[in-house]
Amino acid sequence: MHPSESIKAEKSDVLKDKKIALCVTGSIAAVESVKLARELIRHGAEIYPYMTQAALKFAGKDALLFATGKEPIIELTGKDEHLYDFDAILVAPATADIISKAACGIANDAVSTLIFANLEKCIFVPSMDSRMYKSEILRENIEKLKKFAMFIEPKMEESKAKLPSNELIVARVMNHIRKDLKGKNVLVIGGAGYEKFDEFRIITNLATGKMGVEIARFAYYYGANVKLLIGLHSVEIPEYIEHEEFGGINALIQKIESMKNHDAIIVPAALPDFKPKKRRGKVKNLSDFNEIRFEENPKFLKKLRGEYNGFLIGFKAESQISKEELIRRAKERMEEYNLDMIVANLIEDVDRDSTKAIIIFSDGEFEEFAGKKEKLAKRIVEIMAESL
């Protein structure tokens, strides 16, 4: 078994059975091609490396062979390597030379001929000096190619147009290739909501926001246009996920009108059921704390469903009850709020990275889950994709 097989689908199987040609061209950024190939493989892809002669100055054939398990194609032969069937042609790094060749229809080596024969499948990731990247001629060539191909914007740093992170490149590739949620607008509301009881202090909970972030990530992987509304959180939000922060229930309620244009809304957020009567300034002593009065918050999901007609997924967390009682209460909540799906669990079954849960469908059927939160997120997104 080739070493690349040991990491295949290590992170996800989103690119399972997808064949991707990785075209490496003559930029110093070619040294990153091994790591990029391996990251694609970790999501299940089959990677076929193509290299220009100039790329060989920066990355060796054996390095790409090690990374992918496939012999890099340097020149065309009678095997018609430019006509192989791929799901995508990823040109990373894409130099000014290869971009301009593609824009002008030049096909004089293995990489440029592959691009010419498959332009609509190409994804270009430019990398070069900023003076070249900003030149009027190159900009015209890029705009010409955008009519047919996709571009991933470089990271501008140190007067250079550099490759963005491998995580971002792979996420963009998955979002482009997968059609499960293509054209769908998905909103995820996650993290811990909070309410203020003076100008300095808040009441909140221990939710990390991980579930919401993972759902947003996989919705993006599957092709959706994703927005994440997030409360307090202790996990990193991927740079490719559009996000906005919120605080209390009323802040969310005020946004309901802007939520109506989404095809699906998923709400794993831990929202406070109660809010204190807010004090001016700062509560300074115990007697003042003892006098704080709480009132019940409005139920955000209920208000949202009152104005939103799309696909709506809620979450229900309980504690110290039986599985049967958890299912009964979740179904009751589902019916009360007219949800399309609900995910229920016991808080004692949840830790930072893993969880147990019961996914309940609108017809009353359910399935049980135990494992990593990212796998639950993936399953939720798959079910949503089948339903839209």
| CATH, residue 213 | 3.40.50.10300
Residues 191 and 150 in one domain: no
pLDDT band at 352 (very low <50, low <70, confident <90, very high): confident
Considering only CA atoms, which of 275, 227, 215 is closest in space to residue 251? 275
> Are both 124 and 214 inside the same structural domain?
no
Residue 196 and residue 338 share a domain: yes
pLDDT of residue 134: 95
What's the number of CA atoms in the CB half-sphere (13 Å) around residue 92?
33
In this structure, are 156 and 224 located in the same domain?
no
Domain co-membership, 218 together with 347: yes
Q: Could you read off the pLDDT of 7-17 as tens digits, one per residue? A: 999 999 999 99
Give the model confidence (pLDDT) of 114-147 as tens digits: 999 999 999 999 999 999 999 999 999 999 999 9
Residue-wise pLDDT tens digits, 158-194: 989 999 999 999 999 999 999 999 999 999 999 999 9
pLDDT of residue 34: 96
> In 10 A of CB 122, how many CB atoms?
23
Residue at which a domain ends, from 151, 177, 203: 177
User: Which pLDDT does position 3 carry in this prediction?
Assistant: 81
pLDDT tier, 368 (very low <50, low <70, confident <90, very high otherwise): very high
Whether 217 and 346 map to the same domain: the answer is yes
Residue 152, pLDDT > 80, answer yes
pLDDT tens profile 249-259: 999 999 999 99
In the prediction, which pLDDT does 282 show? 77
The rounded mean pLDDT for the chain is 94
Q: Shortest CA distance to 374 belongs to which of 360, 354, 351?
A: 354
Rounded to two decimals, the pTM is 0.95
- The residue out of 142, 177, 212 marking a domain boundary is 177
Number of domains in the chain: 2
251 with 307, same domain: the answer is: yes
Tell me the C-alpha to C-alpha distance, in Å, between residue 28 and each of 134, 165, 282.
19, 15, 56
Residue 338 identity (one-letter amino acid): N
> Would you call 2 exposed, middle or buried from its count of C-beta atoms within 10 A (0-12, 13-18, 19+)?
exposed
pLDDT value of position 286: 76
**The pLDDT of residue 258:** 95
Q: Which two tokens stand for residue 375?
A: 């796998």
Q: How many whole angstroms separate alpha carbon 313 and alpha carbon 291? A: 38
Burial of 294 (0-12, 13-18, 19+ CB in 10 A): middle
Structural domain boundaries enclosing 10: 3-177
pLDDT, tens digit, 9 for 90 and up, residues 308-339: 999 999 999 999 999 999 999 999 999 999 99
Q: What is the CATH number of the domain that holds 47?
A: 3.40.50.1950
Query: For residue 329, which phi and psi values (nearest 5 degrees)?
Result: -65, -40
Q: What SS3 string covers the chain?
A: CCHHHHHCCCCCCCCCCCEEEEEECCCHHHHHHHHHHHHHHCCCCEEEEEECCHHHHCCCHHHHHHHHCCCCECCCCCCCHHHCCCCEEEEEEECHHHHHHHHHCCCCCHHHHHHHHCHHHEEEEECEEHHHHCCHHHHHHHHHHCCCCEECCCEEECCEEECCCHHHHHHHHHHHHCCCCCCCEEEEEECECCEECCCCCEECCCCCCHHHHHHHHHHHHCCCEEEEEECECCCCCCCCCEEEECCCHHHHHCCHHHHCCCCEEEECCECCCEEECCCCCCCCCHHHHHCCCEEECCCHHHHHHHHCCCEEEEEEEECCCCHHHHHHHHHHHHHHHCCCEEEEEEHHHECCCEEEEEEEECCCCEEEEEEEHHHHHHHHHHHHHHHC
Based on the domain organization, do 123 and 13 belong to the same domain? Answer: yes
Q: Do residues 215 and 286 both lie within one domain? A: yes
Note whether 141 and 220 are same-domain residues. Answer: no
Report the pLDDT value the prediction gives residue 107, as an integer from 0 to 100: 96
User: Within this chain, do residues 120 and 257 fall inside the same structural domain, yes or no?
Assistant: no
- Per-residue model confidence (pLDDT) at position 276: 82
Q: Do 229 and 377 belong to one domain?
A: yes
The residue among 159, 177, 195 that closes a domain is: 177
